[in-house]
Every structure is written in structure tokens, then in C-alpha cells.
Amino acid sequence: MSEISRIAQQLKLAYEGEAWHGPAVLEILSGVDARAAATRPIPNAHTIWELTLHISGWENVIRRRLGGEACTLSDADNFPDVKDKSEAAWRKTVDTLKRTNQELLAAMNATPDSRLADRVPGKNYDVYTMLHGAVQHALYHAGQIAILKRATE
């Protein structure tokens, strides 16, 4: 198994379960409805919905960077405001997260290990660091979402 395949496996586990750390992102989001996702139980903290959009946005950026594009998220896209708080909009947000994660995993699995030491376009770190960062980022926010979920139950 290649090193990138191993990192991709860790990202997959971070999302889908059987992870060493505990519940995965999608396990934590299971059972969260639009009301809970939009609730702000901690003043000045992000909501579950905002965090879900944030994770998805950065997974898309990482995929694009892996493809050679120098890009980032604007402040407005980093933690987007949620205007439509319907159940359908929440389901679409979760579906988008699943899709962006699958797209990133596909891009990772199509990348040879020879690129791990390559500099990320526009950044001062390499692909290896960025891909491990994707796993760390998902798990960091999964922990936040778990706390917020518990606070809304």
C-alpha cells in the first residue's frame, strides 16, 4: 500500500467510522436535524451547520490544491452564514460534505507518492503535510460538532 493510500485510509476512517479516536464525522452527524444543526448553544461559537460547511469547503480546497491550483477560501466561504435553515437544505449540506470527501479521497488515491514532497501551490508546506492536515482538520471539527450535538440534545 502506498503512503498516500494510507493517509487516504485515515481520512476515510475519520469520516466513516472504525476510527481509533472514536466516532467519525458522519457518525456524529447522524441524527442531527436542521434545528440542531442551526442551533448556537455556545455564544460566539460556530454551529454544527457552519462547521459542516467549513469542513466541506476546505476539503474542496485541498482537492484543488492537490490538482495544482493555488487557492483558498474567502472569509465569507470559510464559515458561511446559513440562510436557508430547512431540513432539505441541511440534508443538502451533509450530502455536499459526503461528496467533497469522496472527491478528495479519489484525488488522493490518484496521486503518486512521488508528489508527497512537492510544495503545495502558494504555500510553504508540502503535499504530505497538507494531506495529514486534512485528516487532522476533519477530526478537530468532529470533536467540536460532538460537543455541540450533545449541547442541543
Can you give the residue range of the structural domain that contains 81? 3-152
Global pTM value: 0.95
The pLDDT of residue 118: 97
- Extract the C-alpha cell encoding 7: 493517509
The pLDDT of residue 81: 92
pLDDT tens track for 74-122: 999 999 999 999 999 999 999 999 999 999 999 999 999 999 999 999 9
**8 A C-beta contact, residue 130 and residue 65:** yes
CB count within 10 Å of CB 85 equals 14
**8 A C-beta contact, residue 153 and residue 28:** no
Instruction: List Cβ<8 Å contacts ≥24 apart for 83-90.
Output: 85/34, 85/35, 85/38, 85/49, 86/34, 87/33, 87/34, 89/34, 90/32, 90/33, 90/34, 90/37, 90/38, 90/49
Q: pLDDT above 90 covers what percent of the chain?
A: 95
The number of distinct structural domains making up the chain is: 1
Burial of 81 (0-12, 13-18, 19+ CB in 10 A): exposed
Residue 8 dihedral angles phi and psi, to the nearest 5°:
-60, -40
46: pLDDT strictly greater than 90: yes
27, 31, 34, 38 alpha-carbon torsion, rounded to 10°: -60
* Coarse DSSP helix, strand, coil percentages of the chain, rounded to the nearest 5 percent: 65, 0, 35
Which CATH number do you get for residue 148? 1.20.120.450
